[in-house]
Structure 1
């Protein structure tokens, strides 16, 4: 039983390849809206809210791990009758892609990892701990209001105050819940495949922004250096959510990489 809602858009029919988009800790597939139009012209595109979030809100199993999130993707692929996909993951979503490439490589034609890591850095943990302390001590509103600080550059956020305010209001309204959040953070903290990266033979694009204040771009550098078939692509500005803040350079590189990685 699939148990998860997802959205499939774009092209259809014989020979059309599928791109699966997996978001980060926030869990909402809508994060990828700036990429959808360009991808949908050439591919079938599947986006989904992670289990416990948005359209797939509900309690998470205990224990809960990145492997469970990868199983959800496999269930979506089976339900959509997709044998192989190009997988694009942001941060936590990138960890899901790495897990898939390790355990179900035959289902992954290519891997795009955006601001991801093989093991979470002490700096990223510090950021999570500070935000979770806000959640516990002050509440959901404070936690969500802090989010743009970690997602965007100061200049970007300052210039788009109205849009940021709407994003915060939506985040408060749709907050995934403290228990769900803690289980998801626990899963990414436990994920560590540094000693298995050489096993991943999937063609991989590793993308990052140099000014990301949440996930150091050096984590992407190290990831790309260790993966046998990876290349590193860096954007100077845009922050942790550079794919949303300044999407065009990334969109061009992603489409170029996917074209190079097409099956057959």
Structure 2
């Protein structure tokens, strides 16, 4: 684990693996952005597939895992996107593809809006342009999310079959390596996110993925997101829920194909 200095001086923990990490065969760098209050370890099951083709950068959101919290004022989705810039700078990367899941997708939107010159292709998974004009989760689902334990959240993220066959992976997904205070700041940042009016400014090739049984972020949000981003593609995953990215090999293959179709050797999207 290495550390990148954020704009307010907080140290953001990041790591690099896979192709060109640091001296192997070149591979376009990819940044994976985890969901709300989840450490970068949530991506671990996908690293072999991504690392075979790409230099993969993962990092802990500030206040989570190995990253320092820094100033409370930095807990907005737009400010959290600046931490991605810090990580890229520390890794010596000019441009990268970005894949954000859930709240990580909300942060990725601001990165795409404000730092188009640093972005290759963009994948937004199980996310929304903001709650104010998006479709919100039901009260029972919100209560389950507030409890935060694997028993409550597991069925919201994964199918019953996956929970039965991967109990350790499911349990690890709901370890929250942060304080209650940071969890509240992250929740407030995600809730306040509103990028709808700015999404048409995203020029990067964009793929939006969503499970059609997602009750945490209802799938209509993904459709609306794709409609607001110029030329975005939308993929719906039948029967899958909020944690589709760990459950679906098809989704991983789709993302890898999308990045391969938009290599970084061309100029950034205008």
TM-score of the superposed pair, with normalisation by structure 1: 0.86
Deviation at 1:49, TM superposition (A): 1.5
**Contact 2:226–2:233, Cα closer than 8 Å, also in 1:** yes
Partner SS for 1:86: strand
**Contact 1:60–1:180, Cα closer than 8 Å, also in 2:** no
Greater fraction of residues in helix? 1
1:123 matched to which residue of 2? Answer: 136
Partner SS for 1:54: coil
1:138 matched to which residue of 2? Answer: none
Q: Which shifted more, 188-197 or 83-92?
A: 188-197
RMSD between aligned residues: 2.3
Q: Closer, same or farther in 2 for the Cα pair 1:75/1:81, shift >3 Å?
A: same
Which residue of the other structure, out of 120, 124, 136, is the alignment partner of 1:113? 124
In 2, distance between residues paired with 1:125 and 1:101? 29
2:230 matched to which residue of 1? Answer: 228
In 2, distance between residues paired with 1:211 and 1:83? 37
Deviation at 1:166, TM superposition (A): 4.2
Q: Closer, same or farther in 2 for the Cα pair 1:162/1:232, shift >3 Å?
A: closer
Deviations 1:72-105 (A, max 9, x none): 1100000001000000000111111100111111
Partner SS for 1:102: helix
1:167 matched to which residue of 2? Answer: 172
In 1, distance between residues paired with 2:254 and 2:138? 29
1:217 matched to which residue of 2? Answer: 219
Q: How many residues align?
A: 252
In 2, distance between residues paired with 1:207 and 1:182? 27
- The runs of 5 or more residues in structure 2 that have no matched partner are 266-270
**Contact 1:51–1:60, Cα closer than 8 Å, also in 2:** no
TM-score of the superposed pair, with normalisation by structure 2: 0.85
Partner SS for 1:56: coil
1:80 matched to which residue of 2? Answer: 91
Partner SS for 2:258: helix
- The runs of 5 or more residues in structure 1 that have no matched partner are 135-141
Q: Closer, same or farther in 2 for the Cα pair 1:162/1:11, shift >3 Å?
A: closer
Deviation at 1:260, TM superposition (A): 0.7
Q: Closer, same or farther in 2 for the Cα pair 1:103/1:20, shift >3 Å?
A: same
